[in-house]
Each structure stands twice: as C-alpha cells, then as structure tokens.
Structure 1
Amino acid sequence: MNPRTLPAWPYPRWIAHRGAGKLAPENTLASFRTGAGHGYRMFECDVKLSADGVPFLMHDAELQRTTNAAERLGVGQPGVSDIAGSHGWHALSQLDAGSWHSRIFAAEPLPTFEAIARFCVRNSFFLNVEIKPTPGTEYRTGEVVAQHAARHFNGVAIPPLLTSFDIPALEGALASQPELPRGLLIDALEELPWSAWLSKAQTLQCQAIVCNHTLWNADTVLQAKAAGFRTLSYTVNDTQEAARLISLGTDGVITDRVDLFSPAA
C-alpha cells in the first residue's frame, strides 16, 4: 500500500513500550496485562527467532539481563552461548523472565509471539511489533515474523504495525507479507541525512517513520508528512516532551510511563 493512500491512521496515539514500560518485566504477558490495567490499548514489543524458528519476545540479543539463563542453561560457562537466538524454543521456554524485575513476577516465562497475539486479538488490542533479529538472521526474521503476524491476526480489522531498525528485516517482511503496514525505526542521523532515510522508507513501502523523539521538529515532521508518512516517537517519558510532540502533530507516542500518561488523552 502506498503511504499516500493510507486511510485515517487507525492506531491509538499512546503506545505502551514493551508492554508496560518499567512497571513489569518487559516483553512478557505480565507486562501486557499491567499496561492494559492502566488503560492502554496498544503495545510495542520486540520479536526475534529461536534457533528452531519460533518467534518469541525479547529485546536484547543476549539472555542474561532479563532471564536466569546463567542458572538454567549455564550461560557464561565455556561453550554456552548467551545469544538468545542460538537456543531452541524448548530451552528458552524454561527460563524465568520475571525475577530480574521483582519477586512478584518470579517464574514469568518468555512468551511466544503467538501467545501475545492471542492476548491482543481476544482483547481487541493493537500491536506494534519491532522485528529484532539475531545478527545474521535479519531478512529471514522479517519474513517469518510477518508470516506469523498475518496468520495470528487473520481477519482482524487493524493488523499489527511491523517496525525495525534493520533494513533487511523490513525487506523480508515486505517480500513475505506486503499487505501488512510497516514502519522504519530511526535512532540518529549520523549514518544518513534525513532525506535519505525518507527515501529508504519509501523504497520499503513503509506507512510510518518511528523516530527517537529528539529527531522530530517542525521541519522533519513536515517533510515526513509531505512524503506520506505517519510520525511516531520513542521512548517518551517526560510530560513537556510529550506535549511538544503532540503540538507538532505527530501520530504516536511510545512510552514507559504508563502510570503517568493517560492513553485517553
């Protein structure tokens, strides 16, 4: 779909980062439930592939920050990889992804993308899926995540928005499921000028630009909108910055502070 012909933007303005920001262990079902408890109806999450091709939620390439992989799998010992995508789903499914955050979430497992999709579909929630590939699997991860998104959200009026920093991941998603909406994530302008990023997003047939919030100003918003893109920001945790972005006319705000910002605003 050409972004210029996209109908009225169907997603809520407020998007809960990794489920509920920092109030619960990120990228878990508990985090989604916590965000929903604060009234949020749209959630951002990170999805990568296990070694045997199962899409699951995790931000980091490595396991140790948010799981007990050292204890359970021996990660850190010689010959045992800390890379999440190097392990099969059976091993990953046994990990505790909640205790690192707080005791109340002890034994919270890593969720599959399918489990999160079922939760969203049953509750009529919206989803922003960041494709977060293990290095070296970018294109394949984009293909598989898009395939699963199309399957799990089949028949849903508003499909998930697929985003990534990785151009090959978005290329894989485009080739696999061109009908799903896509967004290009941009963190800084050091690698390319703004016009070149917009050109890349057009080549990828994206509907949205999702930026580090500091990159949005009157000029960049105007250019993005003139090119037919919707404009989203991450990760916005300050009330003055949120007000600035809204006053610029941007379309979406991704936040950790689900306890501070009302999604009805």
Structure 2
Amino acid sequence: MRPPPRHPYLSHDGVLAFAHRGGDRVAPENTMAAFHNAVGQGYRYLETDVHASKDGVVYAFHDDNLARMVDENVAISTLTAAEINNLKMHGKHHIPTMLELFETFPEARFNIDAKNWPVVEPLIALINHTQTQKRICIGSFSDARIKQVVRNVGDICHSVGPLGAARFRFGAWGRLPLSYTAGALQFPVSEYGISMVTKASVAYAHKRGLQVHVWTINDESTMHELLDLGVDGLMTDDCALLKKVLQVRNLW
C-alpha cells in the first residue's frame, strides 16, 4: 500500500506518470514541443535535467556538451544565455529555460535532476524567486547537491540520492530499520547487475514512507511487471504507451 505522501508534490490519485525529458517519440527530448505533447496527453509530471549558462540562467538540457542535440562541440556552461538562446536543437527547437517551463505549464509538476555543481546556486535562486517548491522534486546523482538545494529552498520534495539508494537496497536485504527524510526512491530496474525493484523492496520502501519511482521504462511488458510489484511511479520516453498501459489498468 502506498504510504501517505510526505510532500504535496507526491499527492496524486493513481500511479505517477512521468514524461522523461518530456518524452521523445513525437519531438526531441527537452523541447517545448515534447513537453506540450506530454501535457496535451494529460501528463502532470514532467522530468527534466538542468544546466546553467555562464551567466546563471537555468536551462532544461541533459548533456554537459551540446554536440548530440545541437551539433556544437561545446559545453553548455561556457556559453551565455544570449548565446544559448540563438541555438537550435536538431536545427529547429530552442533550448527552453526552466522559467519558461514553469510559466508555460503552471499546473505541471517537475522532477528536476541538477546535473552538476554550477547549476545548483542558480537553481536555488530560481526556485526561491518563483516560489515553486510545491511543484518540484529534486533529484541528482550527487547526495551533496540534493542536500544543498533542500537546505536552501525550504519545504521541497526530494528523492533519495545514490548513497541513500545503495543504503536502501542493503537495508531491504537485511530488513534493517532505516529511516529517510526523502519522499521517494527513484532508480532504474537494476544497477550494477543488482535488481533494485522487487515486491519485497517496494514493501520495505512503503513501510519507511517512501514512494518508489522507476526509470526509464519504454516497453509495455516491463511497465506491467513493475505495476504488479506495486511501484508508485514510472518514467518513460514513450508517453502514449505508458498512458495506454495505465488506462488498461484503470490507473489513468
């Protein structure tokens, strides 16, 4: 049974369906077209990653380098906002700022991965300026970055970091009485050959007040398997597929 949500961000009837980077089946990842498509399909939760420009503007973009999406072999953090605003992903789509996403989708909730240290302070400033704490869950591959954001923005949802996730898995194996301040665990099906999501681990998480969100799931059978295990949220690149699966199970 899902535990009571520790933060308003996590309050949602049914399974939390996340559009990973906005989804990439209709438009390229992290583009306004992708996010519009997800919201148009009824998605309430949008996952994205953030980097900061040289002058501290926060952008929704995954890679450190622009090469894959923009065909420019340069780190995004070395460019000013004015320079980034002139770039196009796949020759067509501008790189959106987080402020643009907050303002364009006022009802959406955002799962934000702070990709590196240079973005942390600009992200803190943006959240405090826009007062979007209730609409955000912070995650990162760095426990320290998560703690820094949480420490400086007040009451905000955050996921368990990598060290906490490892601690959780070993705790679940040994049924240890560990405690957590985070609202959710967010991880892949397996890491380093170790299965992270089992019926026992999901039950262990729920007993400790944690929701379980799994990424990035793009095939139908795995979606059903994870839902059968009792997970609380799924992240996908294929928004139409996850919506269909949840509709079949009367969870949309």
Q: TM-score by structure 1 length?
A: 0.77
- The 5 A counterparts of 1:153-232 are 153-154=131-132, 158-184=134-160, 186=162, 194-195=169-170, 202=180, 205-214=181-190, 215-232=196-213
- Runs of 5+ consecutive residues of structure 1 not aligned to the other structure: 70-74, 76-81, 100-105
1:38 match: 41
Distance 1:199 1:45, change over 3 A: farther
Confirm or deny that 1:113 pairs with 2:131.
Answer: no
Confirm or deny that 1:243 pairs with 2:224.
Answer: yes
Give the residue type in structure 1 aligned to 2:159.
G
Does the 8 Å contact 2:212/2:233 carry over to 1?
Answer: yes
How many residue pairs end up in the alignment?
Answer: 232
In structure 2, how many angstroms separate the alpha carbons of the residues matched to 1:161 and 1:199?
25
- Runs of 5+ consecutive residues of structure 2 not aligned to the other structure: 191-195
Does the 8 Å contact 1:150/1:180 carry over to 2?
Answer: no
Give the residue type in structure 2 aligned to 1:32.
F
Deviation of 1:37 (Å): 2.7
1:97-120 alpha-carbon deviations (Å, 9 max, x no partner): 133xxxxxx2x1101110011112
- The 5 A counterparts of 1:12-91 are 13-69=16-72, 75=73, 82-91=74-83
Does the 8 Å contact 2:7/2:157 carry over to 1?
Answer: no
1:18-51 alpha-carbon deviations (Å, 9 max, x no partner): 0123321111211101212333222111111111
1:102 match: none
1:162-182 alpha-carbon deviations (Å, 9 max, x no partner): 111111210211111131110
Instruction: Indicate the SS of the match to 2:234.
Output: strand
Distance 1:251 1:206, change over 3 A: same
Confirm or deny that 1:148 pairs with 2:131.
Answer: no
Distance 1:35 1:88, change over 3 A: same
1:79 match: none
1:218-240 alpha-carbon deviations (Å, 9 max, x no partner): 12212222222111010011111
2:193 match: none
Instruction: Indicate the SS of the match to 2:69.
Output: coil
Does the 8 Å contact 2:112/2:139 carry over to 1?
Answer: yes
In structure 1, how many angstroms separate the alpha carbons of the residues matched to 2:64 and 2:177?
28
Deviation of 1:199 (Å): 10
Does the 8 Å contact 1:143/1:176 carry over to 2?
Answer: no
- Aligned identity (percent) is 22
Does the 8 Å contact 1:17/1:254 carry over to 2?
Answer: yes
Does the 8 Å contact 1:165/1:184 carry over to 2?
Answer: no
In structure 1, how many angstroms separate the alpha carbons of the residues matched to 2:242 and 2:51?
29
